[in-house]
Amino acid sequence: MIGPGEKKFYAVDLDARSDAYVSVVGAPAPGAAVSPEDGIHVALRQEDGRECDFGEAKFRDADSGRPLADYAVRRAGPDSGGCGHAGRYQVVVERTGRTGDTYPTEIKYMTEPGLKEGTLAVTSGTGKWSPTSLSVTGRSPGRVAGGTGFNDAPGVGNGVWKDDLLPGQTRFYRIPVSWGQRLSVVADVPKAFAPPGFHAPGGVRVGLNNPARGYVGESVEDYRGMPKSVSLSTAPVAYENRLRGRSDAANAMRVAGWYYLQVGLHPKVGEVVSHPVPVTLRIAVDGTPRAAPAYDGDAVAAGFGVTADPEAVADDGSTGRGALRVIGYAGVSTGSALLCWLGGWWLIARQPVRRSPARFRVRTGGLMPRR
């Protein structure tokens, strides 16, 4: 849990070969009143306080409570701005706003294997890309029941999918995107019987996060009771996208894997709709999959890659979810338990800890409270 203006500190031991991702998800109550100043900030720093990277996700004007997520990244190697060495790093999680309710957070730590010796980080040009929506072809419409957060998002693929959303609700889905592929999504919301002058600012939202939960982008449209289509498209996934500036929309399209799509309706839509709203998702993953970079390790097992798994992509909203169905909104239950567990560790982790890369496979996900 984290309250307005609160800041929490943790620590993580990193090696000198792997790229590291520390993400944080903040989960206010669905549809709760929020302000544009409120959000989640996560930073990764060296022990002397020098910052390596940070990520920040904030609400917009006329927004409502929904999960927020972003990450801080440590790139290994000599071109990492002084943060590529092995050692202990600080993780700082902060609520940017000074008002609002306390809400649960979830911290996730992932490491991406480095490249084999002699492999160039850049394999092709980082030219410009056009955010043009792709045409959807293939399968007939299928039903899917979106998840309540990152942890129970069902897999979907190319084609047309139908789901039902309540006003104030955000649904999550995950989409496999391989190296060299790009993603395009269109969410269609039908007409509602709205009185003249009805206006729901930011009524329909589509957002995307990458496999490490880093912010990719979002598209938001007002809703006035007429049919509305909201689209979002990405650059092709390429290893060299990480060399772009953090403000470049293509930077987060740096790894292959399961990308997280969110579709939400503003609570104000409930003024003209008292039942679940049928939403149609048109998903296109375009491009021939390319070979993965020459990793010095198993990137797929680390969460960065796509394998052929027929059970991973839903056909009717029930396949591929299994036990994950019980996990709560944006992983709230998992996140709360994790932070409580970390808090308990603070009381007993006063003895020296031997630094070993294998330690990052244990229950904490690699994170320890800062001593």
Q: What percent of the chain has pLDDT over 90?
A: 59
Residue 121 banded pLDDT, cuts 50, 70, 90: low
Q: Does 133 score more than 80 pLDDT?
A: no
Alpha-carbon gap, residue 329 to 27, rounded angstroms: 7
Give the pLDDT score at 131: 60
In the chain, list all ranges with CATH 2.60.120.380. 1-112+328-371, 130-324
Give the pLDDT score at 37: 87
- Cα distances (Å, whole numbers) of residue 102 to 41, 105, 267: 15, 10, 20
Give the pLDDT score at 187: 96
Please, what CATH class does the domain formed by 1-112+328-371 belong to?
Answer: mainly beta
In terms of pLDDT, which residue wins out, 256 or 274?
256
In tens, the pLDDT along 67-118 reads 999 999 999 877 777 898 999 999 999 999 888 888 899 999 999 999 998 7
Q: Topology of 130-324 in CATH?
A: Jelly Rolls (2.60.120)
Average pLDDT over residues 345-351: 31
